[in-house]
Amino acid sequence: MDAAQQLQSLSWSDAAYLAPEWILIAFMIGLAVLDLFLPRRAITGWLTLAGLLTSLGFVIWRLAELANAAPKMDANGQLVSGVIRIMGDSYRIDYFSSLLKIVFLAATALIVLMSLGSVKRSDIPDRGEFYYLLLPAVCGAMIMASSGDMITLYIGLELLSITTYVLVGIRKHAVQSTEAAFKYVVTGGISSALLLFGMSYLYGITGATNLGAIADGLRAHAIDYPAILYVAFFFIIAGLGIKIAAAPFHYWAADVYQGAPTPVTAFLAVVSKGAAFAVIVRIVYNLAFYASSPGKPVTNDVFLVLLIVAAAAMLVGSTMALRQFNVKRLFALSGVANAGYMLVPIGLSIKGMHASGVGEFIFYLAVYLLMTIGALTIVAVIVKSSGQEEIGGFAGLYYRAPWTAAAMIVFVLSLAGLPVTGGFFGKLFILLGAAQSKDYWIAAIMVVSSVISYYFYFGLVRQMFMRSTSDAIVRVPVASGIVIWLCAAATVALGIVPGPVFDWINSHLSLVNDLMIQ
C-alpha cells in the first residue's frame, strides 16, 4: 500500500486513536500564536505542561483499554490482542509503543517542570519557543515508537531531529551553544544519511517499506542477497548508533550536552535516545530474525554486532568519564555507557531461557529517565547557584543543602547500580538475562564497566562532603524540588519493589503481537 492509499484509509475513528499526537500538535500551534501576545513566558511553560499531561492521560487511557480488550482471532486463525493498526499497519498502537510513549511524555513533563524552576531569561532568551518546540519533538519520538513503516519512522525521526537542532542552539548569543548546534546538525545529517542508505537496500531487495512486508520479502529472498543484507543492517546500526550516542558513534555527545541548556540536555539524554532505541527494537525484531539463509548467518552476526557496540559503549563511556570535570560532559559519557547497558538485552535476542529482553530494556529506560532527569535537575540548580558546571560546584553541597545532597546520593547510587535503587535492579535484570543466554563475556564487561564508573560517580559524592569556600545556601525552586523528589522517591521505590513493575511489563508485552508486524 503506497502513501496515498494509506492516507485514504485513515478514517475518523482511526484518527481518534491518534488523540495523544493531535493534542501535542494542537497545543504547539496554539502556544506559538499565544506566545506572540502573552506578557509572561512562564505561562507558556505551564500550558506546555498541561498539554503534555493531557496527552499522557489519553495514552494511559488507551493502554488500559488495550489491557481490558477481549482477544481476537486474526486472518490466520491466531489469537491476537492489544494491537491497533492504522493506515495499512504503518502506524501501530500496542503495549510496546504505549509504554514508551508514557516514558517520553513523563520525561518531557518533568523536563518542563524542571525548567520552570531553574531556567533564567539569561539562559534561554526565547523561553516561549523553548517550551512549545518540545511538543513536536516528543511527538516525533512517539511516532517513532509506533511506526510500522520505514516512511512513517523516518518522518518521526526528522520531526524529532529538526526540533532538537533548534533547541540545542536556542541560546543564540552563546558561542558554545551555537557550536553545539552546528556539531549536532552535522552528525544528525550523517546519521540520517546512513539510516536512509541502509533502508534503501532493504527496499531494493523487497520492494516494500512496511516492516511486515519487508520481513515477508526477506523470508523469500534472504538467500539471494546476503551481502546486501549485511550492508543494509550495518548502515542502519551505524545511523541509529549516532542517535543513541553509543561508541564509536558518540563523539558529538559531550560537546552537544555541554553546549545545550540543561533541560535540552536532559531531553536528548532520555527522550531522543529512547526514541532511537524504539526504532532499533522494531527493526531488530521484525527484520533481523529473517535475514539468515543457509550458510549465511546474517541474523547471528547482526546480534553479535549489537553486543560488540554495547561492549564498546560501556567501556569507552566509563573510561572516558574518568577524565571529565565538567558535570554535563560527565553525564554525556555516562549516557554513552548507559546506551551500552540498554543495547545488551536487545542484542541478546531470544536465546535459551531468555525471552524478556524487551521488558528489561523498558524497565531500565524508565529507571534511566528518573535518575538522569533527577540528577540533571540538581545540576541545573547548582549551576544557577554557583554559576559553574564543574564538579567543584558540588563542593560542600551537604552542608549548604543537605536534602538536595541526599537526593543526589540516591541518583548516584542508582547510576552506579548499587542497592537499594532502581538502577541496581535494572542492571541486575539485564545481567541475569545475559547469564541465561550464556553470553558471559558481555555480562563480565557490564560488571567491569560498572566498577569503573564508581570512581567518577563517587567523585561527585566526595565533593558534596568537602568543605566549600562559599557558605552560600543553595536555594532549590519549588518546581525543581518537586522534580528532584519525585524522581528520587520513584528511584527508591523501584529499588525496593521492582518485581511487580517488571512482571507487569513482561506479562502484558507480547513479542509476537506487539513487535513482530505480520
Q: What is the residue-level pLDDT of the chain in tens, covering all 518 positions?
A: 554 555 455 666 677 788 999 999 999 999 988 888 776 656 888 899 999 999 999 999 988 887 776 555 444 444 455 688 887 778 888 889 999 999 999 999 999 999 887 776 656 766 778 888 999 999 999 999 999 899 999 999 999 999 999 999 888 878 888 899 999 999 999 999 999 999 999 999 888 898 888 988 888 877 778 888 889 999 999 999 999 999 899 889 999 999 999 999 999 999 999 999 999 999 888 888 777 666 568 888 888 999 999 999 999 999 999 888 899 999 999 999 999 999 999 988 766 556 678 889 999 999 999 999 999 999 988 888 777 788 888 888 888 888 999 999 999 999 999 988 999 999 999 999 898 888 899 999 999 999 999 998 888 888 888 766 566 677 888 889 999 999 999 999 999 999 888 888 888 887 777 776 66
Which contacts qualify for 412-417: CB closer than 8 Å, 24 or more apart?
412/375, 412/457, 412/458, 412/460, 412/461, 414/367, 414/370, 414/371, 414/491, 414/495, 415/334, 415/338, 415/371, 415/372, 415/375, 415/453, 415/457, 416/450, 416/453, 416/454, 416/457, 416/458, 417/450, 417/453
DSSP sequence for 79-134: EE-SEEEETTTTEEEEHHHHHHHHHHHHHHHHHHHHHHHH--TTT-S-HHHHHHHH
Contact in structure between 452 and 320 (CB atoms under 8 Å) = no
In a domain, residue 2? The reply is no
Residues in the chain: 518
Coil, helix or strand for 210? strand
Residue 106: which of 266, 277, 334 has the closest Cα?
266
- Asked whether residue 370 is assigned to any structural domain, the reply reads yes
> Would 410 be classed as within a structural domain?
yes
H or E segment to which residue 308 belongs:
helix 298-321
Domain-embedded: residue 39? yes
Is residue 498 within 8 Å of 425, Cβ to Cβ?
yes
Confirm whether 184 is domain-assigned: yes
Is 5 inside any structural domain?
no
CB 236 within 8 A of CB 195: yes
Whole-angstrom Cα distance, residue 437 to residue 453? 25
**d(Cα 262, Cα 174) in Å, to the nearest integer?**
14
Domain count, the chain: 1
pTM: 0.92
Query: 312: domain range?
Result: 15-515
Residue 299 lies in a domain: yes
Q: Is residue 415 one of the residues assigned to a domain?
A: yes
Host H or E run for residue 437: none
